């Protein structure tokens, strides 16, 4: 694989503009190469390139030995005429500049442009890297403050006996005195109380401590410095309401939940801090990768320059790169080690393997069995489709007297599974392109590490559902048309219901089979959508609600199941659902439920974030509700006035939704954009990695290697 492809595949999408523009520098080198070829002599004797002559002459030079211990074997600065004398790198005002000494040579103007552009790219990379290192350092300070508060909270919640011993011995929690180890209650379950106090004396994430390692080698801890509990006097613990009961309680009380320093608050704080550390460590890994890839890119482009021009300029320039902040800074590496040690001690109970598995998510292993069964089920689906078509044609079902009754009753029952099958195919397509363009969808949606489904797994589920569906259709047709099975008309009609029951049982199956984690994640998101205003709105919740707005007909098919098997005479394949006012009312309600979910989610986000766009978004969905309601009422009760109202509301809703999708969501049709009528950044990714400090409240917003941002809020607001 060529380096430019590998470089483009490994870079962080959000930082694309900050990387070295390798392709542009390569284009300049092509101009240098064409200039060299144009000015090269045409004589056969002189046609051999300068580089080839140098390589041939070098075969007859004195051998310098395999080592350079003897001074006579050391390379002289002037051994190669084209080495250091061509490039002179100086630093001025924090910017690196390269002086090209032989611009008067043929084609030298192109080489001069190359080095100017190379300096611009290098200064851009160094500046960006410095800014990012400063950001992670400030974030590390914030996490250090949060860790101080977490340790104090652990002591206060988990070990009241230790606090009693502190008080009885007259030792202040902030005095820094030494407390004997026997002050702790024997047999206490948590091994971390003393250890957590020990951790607090290690300082912030930025400080390297060797004393703790020396004490660890001794095997016993005879004394320790207790953590200061005074930090809790300056910390406000805020637990976000996550259940309908807690949300209603917070709304009725009109304030944040009371501070009780309970185990529930400690557990929630540990969960949030674990997420914050994982995200912070991921950002450090991306920053380290950014540094390495850019250094490698500069090395590659300079070696290509040496090859084209037969000079030796890369040695001096790369030495400057190594001595620069980009090549010599080790803050990120030290910080990564410190984060690893802190996370293993505080959140993995000293288990290094467990802690690193959490910090460094492993790539999911592809299984051949999934591909095998995927192909098997798709092949069976195609065979069943052919069998259904042949059966319909051979038995002349389309011309049978009961074809209208069959389509009115049986087809809506099976169409429900068809909608789900098509939806899973589209979702598998999304997963495929997300993976291809390196979108970290598992992190964005908050899937549990290692349990997220790939496009192969989703295709496997959809193909298995297709096999069940077409198998049910074929068996239904066989029992319907075969004279020997016409006596089992009740069984014939129960086939779709049995298929639905199987799907529901698989969805709610409590056993760890058939992707239980993903199934329960889906159920949890559905519950959040149903109780939309009472749960905090997250990305998976409104993503699912948006998907449900495209499945109105599938929801209406579910309603038909209730009517057909509930009060319809399914044994005779007859129903009077459309004649029931109750069915017509639910026919309308079911259609607007997904849009109502989105309206309630927009109201919740408007209440929390105080942003006007959520009001406009909710108004857009409300206009869709009006349009769907008027169209449905017109279907049930025709009339000229209803027709006009339905057309007007549909036009308004269509315009609003089209404008929002194109302009707001896609960012197109922007007049002020640098790309005419497109958005300013043609990539779908967008960097939003900030650390906000609002007075006394500190929110840690973390960066992603994908096109979305998750907000990790620390429990402790210092």
Is 352's pLDDT higher than 80?
yes
Q: pLDDT band at residue 198, thresholds of 50, 70 and 90?
A: very low
Q: How confident is the model at residue 222 (pLDDT cuts 50, 70, 90)?
A: very low
CA distances from 190 to 119, 194, 527, 611 (A): 56, 9, 35, 44
Provide the 10 A C-beta neighbour count for residue 181. Answer: 12
Q: What is the pTM of this model?
A: 0.72
pLDDT digits (tens, 9 = 90+) for 126-135: 999 999 999 9
pLDDT at 711: 30
Is a pLDDT exceeding 70 seen at residue 42? no
**What is the rounded average pLDDT for all residues in the chain?**
75
Using CA atoms, how far apart are residues 157 and 362, in angstroms rounded to an integer? 34
Question: Above 80 in pLDDT, residue 406?
Answer: no
pLDDT given for residue 2 in this prediction: 77
pLDDT at 306: 83
**300 or 366: which carries more pLDDT confidence?**
300
Residues in Cβ contact with 127 at an 8 Å cutoff, skipping those fewer than 6 apart: none
Helix residue ranges, H only, 508-578:
516-530, 539-548, 552-566
| Residues 526-568 pLDDT 10s | 999 998 888 888 899 999 999 999 999 999 999 999 888 887 7
More confident residue, 105 or 44: 105
Burial 505-525 (b: 16+ CB within 10 A, else e): ebeeeeeeeebeebbbbeeeb
What 3-state DSSP class applies to 478? helix
Q: 26-40, 172-186, 433-447, 610-624: which range is least confident on average?
A: 172-186
pLDDT reported for residue 40? 60
Q: What is the full DSSP assignment across 600-620?
A: HHHHHHHHHH--HHHHHHHHH
Number of other CB atoms surrounding residue 69 within 10 Å: 8
Q: What share of the chain is helix, strand, coil (3-state, %, to 5)?
A: 65, 5, 30
Tokens standing for residue 509: 């199956």
Q: What pLDDT is recorded for position 189?
A: 37
Q: How big is the chain by its Cα radius of gyration, in Å?
A: 34
Per-residue pLDDT, 134: 92
First to last CA, the chain: 50
Q: Max Cα separation, the chain?
A: 105
pLDDT band at 179 (very low <50, low <70, confident <90, very high): very low
pLDDT band at 248 (very low <50, low <70, confident <90, very high): low
Confidence band, pLDDT 50/70/90 cuts, at residue 151: confident
């Amino acid at each position: 694989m060529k380096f430019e492809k590998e470089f483009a595949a490994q870079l962080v999408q959000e930082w694309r503009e900050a990387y070295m523009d390798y392709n542009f520098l390569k284009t300049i080198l092509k101009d240098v190469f064409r200039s060299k070829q144009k000015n090269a002599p045409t004589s056969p004797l002189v046609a051999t390139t300068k580089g080839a002559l140098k390589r041939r002459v070098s075969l007859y030079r004195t051998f310098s030995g395999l080592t350079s211990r003897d001074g006579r074997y050391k390379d002289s600065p002037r051994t190669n005429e084209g080495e250091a004398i061509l490039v002179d790198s100086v630093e001025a005002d924090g910017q690196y500049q390269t002086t090209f000494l032989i611009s008067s040579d043929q084609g030298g103007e192109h080489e001069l442009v190359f080095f100017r552009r190379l300096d611009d790219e290098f200064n851009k990379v160094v500046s960006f890297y410095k800014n990012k290192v400063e950001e992670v350092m400030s974030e590390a300070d914030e996490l250090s403050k949060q860790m101080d508060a977490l340790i104090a909270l652990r002591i206060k919640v988990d070990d009241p006996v230790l606090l009693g011993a502190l008080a009885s011995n007259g030792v202040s929690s902030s005095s820094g005195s030494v407390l004997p180890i026997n002050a702790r209650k024997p047999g206490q379950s948590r091994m971390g109380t003393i250890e957590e106090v020990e951790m607090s004396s290690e300082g912030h994430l930025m400080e390297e401590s060797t004393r703790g390692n020396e004490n660890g080698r001794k095997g016993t801890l005879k004394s320790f410095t207790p953590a200061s509990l005074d930090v809790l006097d300056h910390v406000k613990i805020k637990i976000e309401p996550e259940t309908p009961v807690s949300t209603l309680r917070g709304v009725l009380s009109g304030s944040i939940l009371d501070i009780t320093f309970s185990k529930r608050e400690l557990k929630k704080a540990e969960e949030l801090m674990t997420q914050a550390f994982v995200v912070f460590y991921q950002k450090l890994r991306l920053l380290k990768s950014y540094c390495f890839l850019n250094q490698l890119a500069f090395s590659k482009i300079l070696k290509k320059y040496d090859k084209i021009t037969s000079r030796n300029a890369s040695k001096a320039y790369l030495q400057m790169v190594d001595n620069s902040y980009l090549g010599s800074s080790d803050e990120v590496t030290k910080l990564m080690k410190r984060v690893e040690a802190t996370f293993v001690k505080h959140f993995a109970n000293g288990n290094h393997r467990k802690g690193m598995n959490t910090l460094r998510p492993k790539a999911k292993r592809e299984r051949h069995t999934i591909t095998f069964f995927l192909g098997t089920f798709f092949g069976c689906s195609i065979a069943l489709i052919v069998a259904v078509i042949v059966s319909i044609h051979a038995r002349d079902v389309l011309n049978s007297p009961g074809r209208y009754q069959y389509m009115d009753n049986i087809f809506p029952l099976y169409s429900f599974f068809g909608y789900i099958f098509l939806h899973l195919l589209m979702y598998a397509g999304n997963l495929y392109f997300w993976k291809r363009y390196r979108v970290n969808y598992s992190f964005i949606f908050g899937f549990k590490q290692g349990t997220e489904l790939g496009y192969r797994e989703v295709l496997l589920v959809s193909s298995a559902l297709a096999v069940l569906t077409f198998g049910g259709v074929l068996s239904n047709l066989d029992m319907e048309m075969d004279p020997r099975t016409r006596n089992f008309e009740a069984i014939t009609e129960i086939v779709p219901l049995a298929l639905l029951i199987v799907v529901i049982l698989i969805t709610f199956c409590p056993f760890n089979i058939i992707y239980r984690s993903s199934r329960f994640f889906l159920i949890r998101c559905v519950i959040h959508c149903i109780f939309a205003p009472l749960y905090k709105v997250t990305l998976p919740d409104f993503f699912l609600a948006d998907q449900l707005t495209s499945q109105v007909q599938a929801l209406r098919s579910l309603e038909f199941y209730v009517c057909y098997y509930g009060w319809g005479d399914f044994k005779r394949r007859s129903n009077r659902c459309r004649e029931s006012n109750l069915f017509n009312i639910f026919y309308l309600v079911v259609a607007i439920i997904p849009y109502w979910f989105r309206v309630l989610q927009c109201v919740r986000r408007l209440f929390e974030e105080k942003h006007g766009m959520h009001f406009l978004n909710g108004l857009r969905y409300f206009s869709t509700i009006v349009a769907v309601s008027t169209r449905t009422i017109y279907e049930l009760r025709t009339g000229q006035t209803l027709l006009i109202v339905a057309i007007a509301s549909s036009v308004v809703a269509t315009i609003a939704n089209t404008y929002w999708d194109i302009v707001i969501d896609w960012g197109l049709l922007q007049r002020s954009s640098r790309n005419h009528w497109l958005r300013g950044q043609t990539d779908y990714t967008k960097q939003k990695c900030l650390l906000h400090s609002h007075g006394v409240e500190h929110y840690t917003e973390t960066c992603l290697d994908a096109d979305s941002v998750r907000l990790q809020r620390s429990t402790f607001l210092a």
